[in-house]
Structure 1
């Protein structure tokens, strides 16, 4: 490992970007931090990958190619199925087996500093992609970790301070799939019948280039593109057979929340969520999927007519949005007709039934055992850890604080190897009397929007959801929350209080928690837990 002075590195970076004045508070810290720039010879890797972030051009829409950022990978050691390339700008799928030891050489070939986070993976702090470890153009960072996670779907993306949103928006993202012995015994659909589906929204200029320019409203609500892409493609159609498929769906958007549903109204059958397989399949009329969340769907096309199509859509709902004029949230949304508003109906992908087959796997009644936590298991029964969503001077915050690279408060100190009850609240004074209970509440209503809260480290379990008000907007989405299984990101609605139980096992150090609306994250809606 190479020791560098974090403040000197940041000083040079901020000088180059012209943001030194706003960053000055960080220079109060004078600690040195070690960057993992060379491999550990004692770490015997089963898998080695060279992963590079770089600029390129790819076809997305008809006409000119689009300039993007992209992850590319090369397998240095390990099974041949470790890397699977996807079309367009998305990074390759990295496939791991539980228990494998993985070494990834990350090379930054983009102009700005960058660091990669393994979203959902249970790894040590120095391997987690904390923004303090961002490397400059031309530098290398070495990740070494054992795959502790069970079978499931995770992902990787940049976590560079104040530019995560831009770097993800311009293309840096990819899936991680993990297998284990329990999953293999289930004989779930695999190979061509295991379909990844990364959903993102983008806005393009007339010459097919990505448009990303934030107005105040877009900073506050998050950037919403007017074109939905699936696996980096616009309006794709996938040919399928009359049998069951496994769909691994990731919301890789910066801020858009999807209300997933089939166009014919049939239920969605969930078999997995952020942290892996559920205990048993669950049917939903629709599924709400916020940025960073994943869901695995059992899609059975048996019995459907050859030549027919089934479309996965995002269904309409009255999305919460910023109203800079203070005239109420819903009216602000309804006046937006450019295709970029939250809650707009759209088709994501079509499945065309093109081949008749006679055999299809059966949906298992039992999937994966889950140790369910109860209040008896909690290490802090009398001292619940708060995550209070707030706003000050037009900036969202957590527990009345914004992000400072190394900072943590006393309430953010967590003993290692404990199970902590955490209460996430998304309420304001104006909500306590109902969302429309006060006149002149425009400023408070600016804050009244959903926040997908992501916690690094091990996944958690949802203990309870308590809406502190009820209206038609909440009623439109409440039946789409998956509250069982393991999660690392939870959508907290306006006026809602969500209690979770989260393990903090094995590793000490700084582990982030933040809003996964990436514009909110970059504005400072992020904090450190300090596990000791």
Structure 2
């Protein structure tokens, strides 16, 4: 790993705010865990099946118009070794490449940082060693190179990659840095699912632009506290996206790549959505929803059957109106009704920043279009939606190592400071309840019931690095049922998840294994502004 630069002991102390004389404050297990992981990586190293180069760089691309290009930050991809088609670019998009991998392949990623600041790459949803997972303690400086090596252990599914730079994740991702990882396996290959051009990834993001077509980010500190909301919806990096479709079955892999915006996906003609997969791959069998709630970081695979539609016919994928995800502020005013812009009413001292968000063209929870599907050609296919998609090993709470004492993670938003169990992020520190034995099943609870800041509660998409998990149950506190009902029928908890939306007043209990790798693995809110405001902590997995 020539050119690889991890944070040194001295730099760790700087991040922790400690002087040279305070080295004993840094727990020795931090360095022991890193050494153990490094040895683990070296012992398993061999020639890769796949080697790719990923470069983070700045460039200009025609996002809104060709005569006024937009400055973006993006990942470019290059195939160094492996089958053709492994690295697939999205033409004309600021989004990074699509990596097409197969379970069992050994992968080497050479990450080159040509940004004017530090960066690190996170393989979102994949179970990989700590050094390949994108922990900010492994971020590298401008002009440096890092090498990530891992074996694809995960099931077939829609995964993605994006930066995880300390306090810079939201902005780096916002300016364009994200790509896809599509994994296949023998189980998926045995099914007759739409393939090739009929297997379509769709990354949904919201952005704002100034009158020069340049991306416009946070305007007020309060915007950062609430999470960035743009006023233009882009799909695969393009506004007003139109999918030119044939009259046949498609697989639509939908990724919520927005910083903080939640979507309530519906078809414009009222047709139900047939879900065949979520974050961690295919479900056991298809499920049908009138709408699907999709939070930042989450993915959903849809079986979209356009057979029977006429040439020239259009159907839109929209986000329906909803409420309940933003704060119900009890300071200085009431709450706006009607499913949009809910939760305002701050005191006059905050009026400037909040009214800036209130006046946004696309408030959180407002109804709006996402993309249009237009029937441009007739085709016939013989595909039938499989009644059985995959086999999922179900976990049981009584088998957990902590079955009688779940690990509780309390979410809070007090004092303009998003926190987990009242704590902010510390680069390499953990507390006792964050130390997890390797090869154990654990019960975890995300609890969004901070009664001391009841009016400040908002929805949080909680993401855990490492293995995917299963949602065991959801429980809503009295008084929150109406807000919860606005989005709850759109949750798809049947399969494997790596991100779960936790609503105000809700407790979500999950079952998650911690296998294969030791080291520091993050858990955090995937509202990226909240992550950068330190709503993030470490789990230490150790043997």
TM-score by length of 1: 0.91
Once residues 283 and 445 of structure 1 are traced to their aligned partners in structure 2, the CA distance between those partners, rounded to angstroms, is 34
Structure 1 stretches lacking a partner, 5+ long: 15-22, 431-442
SS of match in other structure, 2:372? strand
Residues 300-336 of structure 1: CA distance to partner in whole angstroms, max 9, x if unpaired?
A: 0001111100111111112533559542454692573
SS of match in other structure, 2:122? strand
Q: Which residue of 2 aligns with 1:401?
A: 423
Once residues 158 and 332 of structure 2 are traced to their aligned partners in structure 1, the CA distance between those partners, rounded to angstroms, is 40
Is 2:194 aligned against 1:186? Answer: no
Once residues 176 and 9 of structure 2 are traced to their aligned partners in structure 1, the CA distance between those partners, rounded to angstroms, is 29
Structure 2 stretches lacking a partner, 5+ long: 345-357
Q: Which residue of 2 aligns with 1:124?
A: 129
- Asked if 2 retains the 8 angstrom alpha-carbon contact of 1:319 and 1:333, the reply is no
User: Which of residues 196, 200, 204 is equivalent to 1:199?
Assistant: 204
> What are the residue-to-residue correspondences of 1:157-306 with 2, within 5 Å?
157-306=162-311
SS of match in other structure, 1:339? coil
Residues 393-413 of structure 1: CA distance to partner in whole angstroms, max 9, x if unpaired?
A: 320110111100001010111
User: Which of residues 459, 465, 469 is equivalent to 1:456?
Assistant: 465
Residues 258-279 of structure 1: CA distance to partner in whole angstroms, max 9, x if unpaired?
A: 0011001110000000000000
Structure 1 pair 5–481 and aligned structure 2 pair: CA distance change class (3 A)? closer
Is 2:341 aligned against 1:333? Answer: yes
Count of matched residue positions in the alignment of Structure 1 and Structure 2? 508
1:117 positional shift: 0.3
Q: Which residue of 2 aligns with 1:93?
A: 98
> What are the residue-to-residue correspondences of 1:27-66 with 2, within 5 Å?
42-62=45-65, 63-66=67-70
Structure 1 pair 418–355 and aligned structure 2 pair: CA distance change class (3 A)? same
SS of match in other structure, 1:531? strand
Once residues 241 and 219 of structure 1 are traced to their aligned partners in structure 2, the CA distance between those partners, rounded to angstroms, is 42
1:25 positional shift: 5.3
Q: Which residue of 1 aligns with 2:153?
A: 148
SS of match in other structure, 1:73? strand
- Asked if 2 retains the 8 angstrom alpha-carbon contact of 1:120 and 1:459, the reply is yes
- Asked if 2 retains the 8 angstrom alpha-carbon contact of 1:26 and 1:404, the reply is no
Once residues 337 and 4 of structure 1 are traced to their aligned partners in structure 2, the CA distance between those partners, rounded to angstroms, is 44
SS of match in other structure, 1:187? coil
Q: Which residue of 2 aligns with 1:6?
A: 8
Q: Which residue of 2 aligns with 1:364?
A: 386
1:215 positional shift: 1.4
Structure 1 pair 202–267 and aligned structure 2 pair: CA distance change class (3 A)? same
SS of match in other structure, 2:189? helix
Residues 224-278 of structure 1: CA distance to partner in whole angstroms, max 9, x if unpaired?
A: 0011100000001111111100000100000000001100111000000000000
Residues 341-368 of structure 1: CA distance to partner in whole angstroms, max 9, x if unpaired?
A: 2111111111101112232411000000
Residues 133-178 of structure 1: CA distance to partner in whole angstroms, max 9, x if unpaired?
A: 0000010100000000010000000000100000000000011100
Q: Which residue of 2 aligns with 1:135?
A: 140
Once residues 368 and 26 of structure 1 are traced to their aligned partners in structure 2, the CA distance between those partners, rounded to angstroms, is 53
Once residues 81 and 19 of structure 2 are traced to their aligned partners in structure 1, the CA distance between those partners, rounded to angstroms, is 40
Is 2:404 aligned against 1:382? Answer: yes
Is 2:54 aligned against 1:24? Answer: no
- Asked if 1 retains the 8 angstrom alpha-carbon contact of 2:412 and 2:418, the reply is yes
Once residues 320 and 296 of structure 1 are traced to their aligned partners in structure 2, the CA distance between those partners, rounded to angstroms, is 23
Once residues 59 and 13 of structure 2 are traced to their aligned partners in structure 1, the CA distance between those partners, rounded to angstroms, is 29
TM-score by length of 2: 0.89
- Asked if 2 retains the 8 angstrom alpha-carbon contact of 1:244 and 1:360, the reply is no
SS of match in other structure, 1:524? coil
Structure 1 pair 107–326 and aligned structure 2 pair: CA distance change class (3 A)? farther
> What are the residue-to-residue correspondences of 1:337-352 with 2, within 5 Å?
337-352=359-374
Q: Which residue of 1 aligns with 2:110?
A: 105
Q: Which residue of 2 aligns with 1:484?
A: 494
SS of match in other structure, 1:175? strand
Coordinate RMSD, CA, aligned: 2.1
1:64 positional shift: 0.8
Structure 1 pair 326–509 and aligned structure 2 pair: CA distance change class (3 A)? farther
Once residues 295 and 414 of structure 2 are traced to their aligned partners in structure 1, the CA distance between those partners, rounded to angstroms, is 24
